[in-house]
């Protein structure tokens, strides 16, 4: 009856069959954790006399949730749609659709993505006359996100946080931002979880309902949970205590999003009698790739400890490519792809990974010049294109009249002669009357201030009301088609003869196809609200299709959860990967090392590691030594494959000496250069210095580099900078 268990290894089988109590499945990269989760759910349903709706399985992406449902369905057949399988955000949204009114919102709330949040905050700062140079929007939103992660409302932030001018300003911005969201009946991503936790804490009846319902709770990627997500699981698991978390402390890489690696490190302290099951057999990579990953991550201190192994002995050695510049690095990599492609069938086998999005340009330049198809995964998403966002704004306003943000986006798109002056009056009247933009516009003829514009405002609200009425009669595909046509948007594009307009028409056609696919999906009801929720909660990884045939470019963060036959990990230089800020923060350095571990373990068959000797950054060309992560890999696993070595050998050949003799001579020259460089290192850690542009700062470290020296300086106002001593022209500050 349980023949599917025969396909599992001993550790996987133990993780599947240990159904009661708290279980920590320590799943290494490529160890089959999705297989374990799917089989565990199937086993519970078949052996524990429970119902599908008594199981809660939480993932971090829609793609992972859908894959899990598909695998479970293959094992047990029907009943999958009755289970609660989804992301933290989608599960919380489902709960909030029933109980959010207790927090002052309506059940037809919309969800704002990060771009929407920025727009709202920009309005708040403008209204409060806060300088966005002194208070950058991203920084303010990050502080507010951190506050929500602690369950703080604005008044809590005012009370609990340090009392200073900056905190007071951000707390005031948080208050206005929250009020705008409530007014718009909108939630941001943090609200979805925070409000769910608040409701469960404040209403024991609701908490007990879900505690009784969820007899078995499974959480994927537990190492990436933040404080709120930890609290949510703790609350829901208080009923039966059957909670199984699957994760890998060595792959915790999202601290910048609030992830707390201590959630998985301390799991055995948080729950009683925890059963730990390590999954160390890797089904993805060769042993050489795993040995490299194990060697790098072993240098971290805060980890539970495991060592990956595979039956795929050996494999190709890891190639190291070194370019003089980032352009050389890109050319070497693309040439390696071209060479391998001659004996392969797909460009989709190759992935180029980098630490930050800004590093993609040299690779894109070479790929375009070589006419090699590629896609930047974390670039402009399909749903981020203007025409798609415009139609989504129409749909959100149809669904929720209180969504002022969406109204402002499309009230004059296409042009309706509703200009800035009219919008200013609309905003003033809405504020004065404590009403929404739509409500004021709908009764515009009662406000003399609008003059002739009142007719146009009324026509717009009539359009939206008519489409809302159609939403009750038509399926979502027909509603979207009618919205595109009735709004005049399609006519606007048809009347534009440019190539760009034709592309936008094609994109809208593809959008209709996407809506149709959503409507056909068995796990959806096909409702407008569900569709809007689904597209807002999509992640970069959800847009990746392994069947597409193009070279994939992405950050290592975006690559999490993916795998490729051939992977290029680029920019392995100190200050790039690991990043500069991690040099003064041991915990940040450990996360950078985990990020490198993730990058290495994306590769199945072949791994390339590359760096540039110099890189153009912040307007100047800078030189950096190789990354410590590269140095942590045993040399016997590496091979210098590449253009850099052959170019040196060619130069050596021209002057008629042996390569070994050239190496010895170079070592002698290097010693002399290092001795000269020592004279340039006039500063030591702790020295106070002054820079003509960055102001005063403290030297963190000083390191010889060729004929120069690298200084890492923590400036009082400009942050941490890496500077070359020759060009820095620093003045030492002598304390009186």
* 515 HSE (CA, 13 A, CB side): 23
For residue 670, the tally of other CB atoms under 10 A from its CB is 12
DSSP string, 174-197: HHHHHHHHHHHTEE-HHHHHHHHH
Q: Is 613 a catalytic residue?
A: no
Which of 34, 119, 281, 524 is catalytic? The answer is: 34
DSSP-based helix, strand, coil % in the chain, nearest 5: 55, 15, 30
Which of 33, 355, 560, 615 is catalytic? The answer is: 33
Two tokens at 397? 């306003």
Q: Is 665 a catalytic residue?
A: no
For residue 729, the tally of other CB atoms under 10 A from its CB is 11
Using only C-alpha atoms, what is the Rg of the chain?
29
Separation CA 569–CA 166 (nearest Å): 39
Which of 251, 286, 552, 698 is catalytic? The answer is: 251
Question: Which residues lie closer than 8 Å to 593 by C-beta, 6 or more apart?
Answer: 296, 297, 299, 300, 578, 629
Residue whose structure tokens are 């190496």: 663
Separation CA 602–CA 81 (nearest Å): 31
Handedness of CA 156, 158, 163, 166 (dihedral sign): positive
> Given the DSSP bridges, would you call strands 84-87 and 731-732 parallel, antiparallel or unpaired?
unpaired
Q: Is 602 a catalytic residue?
A: yes
Q: Is 158 a catalytic residue?
A: no
Helix (H), strand (E) at residue 502: helix 499-520
Q: Is 34 a catalytic residue?
A: yes
For residue 715, the tally of other CB atoms under 10 A from its CB is 18
Q: Is 503 a catalytic residue?
A: no
Helices 287-297 and 586-600 cross at an angle (nearest 10°) of: 180
Which of 221, 328, 403, 583 is catalytic? The answer is: 221
Separation CA 209–CA 572 (nearest Å): 51
Closest CA to 626 of 589, 578, 591, 658: 578
Handedness of CA 653, 654, 656, 659 (dihedral sign): negative
Helix (H), strand (E) at residue 704: strand 695-705
> Given the DSSP bridges, would you call strands 551-555 and 350-354 parallel, antiparallel or unpaired?
parallel
463-470: long-range contacts (C-beta < 8 A, 24 or more apart)?
463/487, 464/394, 464/397, 464/398, 464/401, 464/438, 467/394, 467/398, 468/398, 468/399
Handedness of CA 371, 375, 379, 384 (dihedral sign): positive
Prior bond of 697 cis (ω within 30°):
no
Terminal-to-terminal C-alpha distance of the chain? 83
Which of 191, 220, 224, 540 is catalytic? The answer is: 220
Closest CA to 405 of 191, 132, 180, 170: 180
Residue whose structure tokens are 């749609």: 81
Which of 71, 148, 602, 722 is catalytic? The answer is: 602
Separation CA 614–CA 559 (nearest Å): 26
Separation CA 390–CA 537 (nearest Å): 18
**Catalytic positions, written as ranges:** 33-34, 220-221, 251, 602
């Amino acid at each position: 009856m349980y023949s599917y268990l025969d396909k599992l290894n001993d550790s996987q089988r133990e993780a599947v069959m240990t159904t009661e109590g708290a279980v920590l499945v320590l799943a290494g990269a490529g160890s089959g954790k999705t297989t374990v989760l799917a089989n565990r759910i199937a086993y519970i349903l078949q052996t524990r006399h429970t119902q599908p709706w008594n199981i809660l399985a939480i993932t971090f992406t829609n793609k992972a949730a859908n894959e899990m449902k598909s695998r479970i369905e293959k094992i047990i057949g029907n009943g999958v749609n009755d289970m609660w399988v989804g992301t933290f955000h989608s599960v919380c949204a489902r709960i909030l659709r029933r109980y959010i009114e207790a927090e002052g919102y309506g059940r037809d709330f919309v969800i704002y993505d990060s771009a929407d949040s920025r727009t709202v905050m920009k309005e708040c700062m403008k209204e409060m006359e806060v300088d966005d140079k002194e208070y950058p929007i991203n920084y303010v939103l990050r502080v507010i996100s951190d506050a929500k992660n602690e369950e703080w409302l604005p008044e809590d932030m005012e009370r609990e946080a340090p009392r200073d001018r900056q905190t007071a300003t951000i707390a005031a911005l948080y208050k206005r931002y929250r009020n705008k969201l409530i007014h718009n009946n909108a939630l941001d991503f943090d609200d979805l979880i925070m409000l769910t936790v608040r409701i469960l804490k404040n209403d024991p009846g609701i908490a007990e309902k879900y505690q009784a319902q969820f007899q078995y709770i499974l959480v994927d990627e537990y190492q990436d949970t933040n404080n709120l997500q930890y609290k949510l699981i703790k609350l829901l698991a208080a009923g039966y205590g059957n909670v199984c978390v699957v994760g890998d402390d060595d792959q915790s890489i999202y601290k910048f999003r609030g992830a707390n690696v201590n959630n998985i490190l301390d799991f055995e302290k948080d729950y009683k009698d925890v059963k730990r099951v390590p999954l160390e057999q890797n089904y993805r990579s060769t042993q050489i790739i795993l040995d490299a990953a194990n060697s790098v991550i072993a240098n971290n201190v805060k980890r539970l400890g495991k060592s990956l192994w595979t039956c795929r002995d050996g494999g190709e050695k890891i190639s190291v490519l070194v370019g003089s510049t980032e352009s050389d690095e890109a050319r070497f990599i693309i040439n390696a792809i071209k060479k391998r492609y001659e004996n392969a069938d797909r460009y989709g086998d190759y992935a180029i990974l980098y630490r930050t999005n800004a590093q993609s340009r040299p690779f894109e330049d070479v790929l375009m010049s070589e006419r090699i198809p590629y896609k930047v995964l974390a670039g402009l998403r399909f749903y981020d294109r203007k025409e798609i966002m415009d139609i989504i704004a129409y749909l959100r306003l149809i669904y929720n009249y209180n969504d002022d943000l969406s109204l402002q986006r499309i009230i004059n798109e296409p042009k309706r002669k509703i200009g800035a002056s009219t919008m200013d009056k609309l905003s003033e009247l809405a504020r004065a009357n404590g009403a929404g933009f739509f409500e004021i516009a709908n009764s515009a003829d009662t406000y003399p201030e609008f003059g002739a514009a009142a007719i146009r405002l009324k026509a717009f609200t009539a359009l939206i009301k008519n489409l809302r009425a159609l939403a009750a009669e038509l399926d979502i595909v027909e509603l979207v088609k009618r919205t595109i046509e009735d709004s005049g948007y399609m006519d606007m594009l048809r009347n534009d003869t440019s190539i760009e307009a034709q592309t936008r028409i094609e994109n809208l056609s593809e959008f209709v196809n996407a809506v149709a696919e959503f409507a056909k999906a068995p796990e959806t009801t096909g409702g407008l609200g569900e569709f809007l929720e689904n597209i807002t909660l999509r992640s970069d990884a959800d847009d990746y299709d392994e069947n597409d045939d193009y070279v994939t470019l992405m950050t290592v963060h975006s690559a999490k959860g993916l795998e490729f036959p051939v992977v290029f990990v680029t920019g392995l230089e100190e200050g790039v990967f690991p990043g500069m800020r991690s040099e003064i923060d041991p915990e940040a350095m450990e996360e950078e090392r985990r990020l490198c571990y993730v990058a290495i373990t994306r590769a199945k068959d072949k791994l390339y590691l590359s760096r540039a000797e110099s890189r153009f950054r912040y307007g100047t060309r800078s030189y950096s030594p190789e990354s410590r992560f590269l140095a942590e890999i045993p040399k016997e696993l590496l091979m210098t494959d590449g253009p850099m070595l052959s170019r040196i050998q060619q130069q050596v050949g021209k002057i008629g000496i042996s390569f070994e003799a050239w190496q010895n001579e170079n070592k002698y020259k290097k010693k002399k250069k290092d001795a000269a460089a020592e004279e340039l290192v006039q500063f030591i850690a702790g020295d106070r210095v002054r820079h003509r542009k960055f102001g005063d700062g403290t030297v963190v470290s000083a390191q010889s580099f060729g004929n120069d020296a690298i200084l890492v300086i923590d400036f009082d106002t400009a942050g941490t900078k890496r500077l070359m001593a020759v060009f820095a022209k620093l003045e030492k500050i002598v304390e009186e």
